[in-house]
Chains A and B, each alone.
Chain A
Amino acid sequence: KAGVTQTPRYLIKTRGQQVTLSCSPISGHRSVSWYQQTPGQGLQFLFEYFSETQRNKGNFPGRFSGRQFSNSRSEMNVSTLELGDSALYLCASSLIPGAYNEQFFGPGTRLTVL
């Protein structure tokens, strides 16, 4: 069974640009969550999608958005990039949403904003 895949793996952008990251969950998994990882902050929850609907949203500005497609693949978009957006963005999938389901993480997309 293939794991969670994320593309691209590495990305370099400049301030003010926008970026789209992609996540393909494990086959059969319908819930996708996104996290931002920065040094010293651990993983910060961005949002969770299930059946193409945003189920939960973390405490991030509106520049961060996402969506989920009918095949459960998900994308997240960051507009008007800032230097502080440089981070590892992780996607995790699970069979169904809810706190008690184990999430399987992808390798992440390393975003660098110059």
Chain B
Amino acid sequence: DQQVKQNSPSLSVQEGRISILNCDYTNSMFDYFLWYKKYPAEGPTFLISISSIKDKNEDGRFTVFLNKSAKHLSLHIVPSQPGDSAVYFCAASARGQNFVFGPGTRLSVLP
């Protein structure tokens, strides 16, 4: 049973528009969340994180929102750029345990 789910395997967005990537989790003990971006033939790179004591974290064009009651988080990219085309992984962790990753969402930003 997957503890971290990304129900959209792929997403296409026009350049300049907002991209919203979603992630759901089942383990209420998770208290720290990360988003990673992965280009082909490269390892994942850290994008942004959020702790369960916050409901929003912003870094430039990237904002992560956390809804603890719904066990849901989302990554917003505004404005989307063609260079954002990649696979995005959501990951969650409970203190002292290793990260559990979702299956990823492939984002395509169309020029």
A, B co-complexed: yes
Spell out A's residues near B (CB within 8 Å): 4, 33, 35, 40-45, 48, 56, 58, 90, 92, 98-100, 102-108
Cβ–Cβ < 8 Å partners of A105 in chain B = 36, 43-45
Cβ–Cβ < 8 Å partners of A43 in chain B = 44, 89, 91, 101
User: Within the assembled complex, what's the spacing in Å between the Cα atoms of A77 and B94?
Assistant: 28
The answer to whether A99 touches B97, judged by C-beta atoms less than 8 angstroms apart, is yes
The answer to whether B44 touches A90, judged by C-beta atoms less than 8 angstroms apart, is yes
Asked if B69 CB lies within 8 Å of chain A CBs, one says no
Of chain B, the residue at the smallest CB distance from A40 is B103
Pull 7 A–B residue pairs with CB atoms less than 8 Å apart, ordered by A: A41-B103, A43-B101, A44-B101, A58-B98, A98-B96, A99-B32, A107-B43
User: Within the assembled complex, what's the spacing in Å between the Cα atoms of A1 and B53?
Assistant: 33
The answer to whether B93 touches A99, judged by C-beta atoms less than 8 angstroms apart, is yes
Of chain B, the residue at the smallest CB distance from A55 is B98
Count residues of B near A (Cβ-Cβ below 8 Å).
27
Q: How many A-B residue pairs have CB under 8 A?
A: 57
Given known A-B contacts A43-B89, A107-B42, A99 and B98 have beta carbons under 8 A apart: yes
Interface string of B81-99 (1 = CB under 8 A from A): 0000000010101111111
The answer to whether B99 touches A99, judged by C-beta atoms less than 8 angstroms apart, is yes
Q: Which of B36, B43, B49 has the most CB of A within 10 A?
A: B43
User: Within the assembled complex, what's the spacing in Å between the Cα atoms of A44 and B34?
Assistant: 15
The answer to whether B95 touches A99, judged by C-beta atoms less than 8 angstroms apart, is yes
The answer to whether A99 touches B94, judged by C-beta atoms less than 8 angstroms apart, is yes
The answer to whether B96 touches A42, judged by C-beta atoms less than 8 angstroms apart, is no
Of chain A, the residue at the smallest CB distance from B104 is A42
Given known A-B contacts A105-B43, A107-B42, A108-B43, A42 and B101 have beta carbons under 8 A apart: yes
The answer to whether A90 touches B100, judged by C-beta atoms less than 8 angstroms apart, is no
Within 8 A of A (CB), among B48-77: 49
User: Within the assembled complex, what's the spacing in Å between the Cα atoms of A100 and B50?
Assistant: 11
Cβ–Cβ < 8 Å partners of A45 in chain B = 98-101
Of chain B, the residue at the smallest CB distance from A48 is B98
Q: Which of A4, A45, A99, A106 has the most CB of B within 10 A?
A: A99
